[in-house]
Amino acid sequence: MTLALGCIADDYTGASDLANTLTRCGLRTVQTIGIPADDLQLPEVDAVVVSLKSRSIAASKAVEKSRAAEKWMRSRGADHVLFKICSTFDSTDAGNIGPVMDALRIDSGDSIVLVTPAFPETGRTVYQGNLFVGAVPLNESPLKDHPLNPMHDSNLVRVLARQSVTNIGLVDLGVVACGADVVRTHLDGLSENGFGAAIIDAVFASDLETIGAVALGHRVSVGASGMGLGLARALVASGRVKANAATSIKDTPVGGAAACLAGSCSQATLQQIARAEQVMPVLHLDPEQVIAGGAEVQRALGWAKERLGKGPVLIASSSTPDQVTALQKRHGRDAAGHAIEQAMADLAEGLVRAGVQRLVVAGGETSGAVVDRLGIPGFLVGAEIAAGVPVLRAVGAAERQMLLALKSGNFGGPAFFEDALGLMT
Ligand SMILES: Nc1ncnc2c1ncn2[C@@H]1O[C@H](COP(=O)(O)OP(=O)(O)O)[C@@H](O)[C@H]1O
Ligand SMILES: O=C(O)[C@@H](O)C(=O)COP(=O)(O)O
């Protein structure tokens, strides 16, 4: 296998979002969980997205894991490696975007790295270095209340400068609009003046194409699915990847019982859960009881097993921002998050034992905990449920066939859970 593009994603939902974009742009793509084992049977692909659960761990660990993934990709022929971050730049001042970017830049020998989380299809645009989520700046969006990494500054030049050892420049939309050659000249100027990375504005898909064409001339880039789109289109345009080479996974039905787990507390997920209550049984976990011990998981599994024969069920830990803050005050942010993620993993394991073969998971960290527990080594991309969320078919898992959907907390329309199950047959 010779890779045209290697990608390192800092969470599993983000990885499936990127794998979806690359597939839709014509790249044969596989999503792996961590660096694939040598004996994992993978199809011939143009791109591999290695999923890490590295967004909220210590920066030094995130760097170590990302470097190992980069090394693996380079050894498989990847000239360019994309570090896939969240389109809402989810991170804290302690990292992990800056430290990983710095390490990959040094390893690659690049003098300057292009960075953009823009993904216009999902309403993420960057103008003058400021990230907008729909019509509002990042710091006014629901991301200001994220349970693990609340975002309070929409100026990404400032945000990244707090995380990185290098100076962070800006390539503004006026420069991007002048085309790839002007962007290259601007980057040369920044690099000569000691800038090791630059936030680049993007509002339209055409901006991403310009950015992709420039980024492909470098060894490393940092961005969300929009950067993936730009790189994929540039690869196809350059003839390095055959257009329309992507093959969607076979739609052979998997059958079996279906269930949904929600650990995301985003506004979008809370609305989707409320909507799901109209069409399927929904159990709201008591987060306090979840942290207290295993009885709440057992209660939820008993509840689900009584209903799974009749149709899909949804189990949610999700709470409103006020409730999340109150719980975190009592137990600590990381401890509360970790305990709930592990409970979600216990639930997923129990549900699969009870015959679930179609599983929808809402939340990035939550998906990471669930997929790790299920021991799934990788996924092929199927139909698109919503922008950034594909149906995934597990590969390399021994016993039963499984379909999953790993939904970023913020993605999907109000009827997401129904939409997903409708495509996961
Ligand atoms: N009721 C709750 N109170 C506090 N934290 C919660 C609650 N429910 C879930 N969590 C935690 O919030 C975090 C949500 O993050 P994640 O799953 O990545 O969702 P998103 O995709 O919205 O970012 C996880 O660590 C999860 O365990
Ligand atoms: O880029 C995005 O917004 C997503 O692909 C993503 O990374 C999702 O992260 P979570 O919201 O934590 O699921």
Ligand with an atom nearest the CA of residue 262: 1
- Contact assessment for residue 403 and residue 423, using Cβ atoms and an 8 Å cutoff: no
pLDDT tens-digit profile of 202-230?
999 999 999 999 999 999 999 999 999 99
For residue 329, how far is its CA from the centre of ligand 1 (angstroms)?
Answer: 15
- Nearest residue CA, atom 6 of ligand 2? 14
| Nearest alpha-carbon partner for 394 in 46, 54, 33 | 33
- The label of the residue with tokens 């989380």 reads 117
Cβ of 412 below 6 Å from ligand 1: no
Ranges in the chain, pLDDT < 70: 244-251, 397-399
Domain 5-238 in this protein, CATH class: alpha beta
| Burial (0-12, 13-18, 19+ Cβ within 10 Å), 331 | middle
Residue 322 confidence (pLDDT): 93
Cβ of 10 below 6 Å from ligand 2: no
- The label of the residue with tokens 């009592």 reads 330
Cβ of 87 below 6 Å from ligand 2: yes
Secondary structure letter of residue 95 according to DSSP: B
Instruction: Tell me if the pTM is above 0.90.
Output: yes
Residue 39 confidence (pLDDT): 81
For residue 350, how far is its CA from the centre of ligand 2 (angstroms)?
Answer: 26
pLDDT tens-digit profile of 365-390?
999 999 999 999 999 999 999 999 99
The dihedrals phi and psi of 62, each to the nearest 5 degrees, come to -60, -40
Cβ of 163 below 6 Å from ligand 2: no
Cβ of 350 below 6 Å from ligand 2: no
Residue 19 confidence (pLDDT): 97
Distances (CA, A) of 138 to 135, 246, 340: 9, 34, 26
Three-state DSSP string of 231-265: HHHHHHHCCCCCCCCCCCCCCCCCCCEEEEEECCC
- Nearest residue CA, atom 3 of ligand 2? 87
Distances (CA, A) of 85 to 46, 227, 331, 407: 20, 10, 28, 15
Cβ of 336 below 6 Å from ligand 1: yes
ipTM of the complex: 0.98
Residue 50 confidence (pLDDT): 98
Residues contacting residue 164 through CB under 8 Å, at least 6 positions apart:
98, 99, 101, 102, 196, 197
CA distance 266 to 263: 9
Residue 80 confidence (pLDDT): 98
Cβ of 285 below 6 Å from ligand 1: no
- Contact assessment for residue 369 and residue 376, using Cβ atoms and an 8 Å cutoff: no
Which of 8, 10, 16, 17 for a ligand 2 pocket mutation test, highest count of atoms within 8 Å of Cβ? 17
- Contact assessment for residue 344 and residue 371, using Cβ atoms and an 8 Å cutoff: no
| Nearest alpha-carbon partner for 147 in 281, 327, 287, 26 | 327
Domain ranges of the chain: 5-238, 257-375+387-423
Ligand with an atom nearest the CA of residue 16: 2
- CA of 410, closest atom in ligand 1: 22
CATH, domain range 257-375+387-423: 3.40.980.20
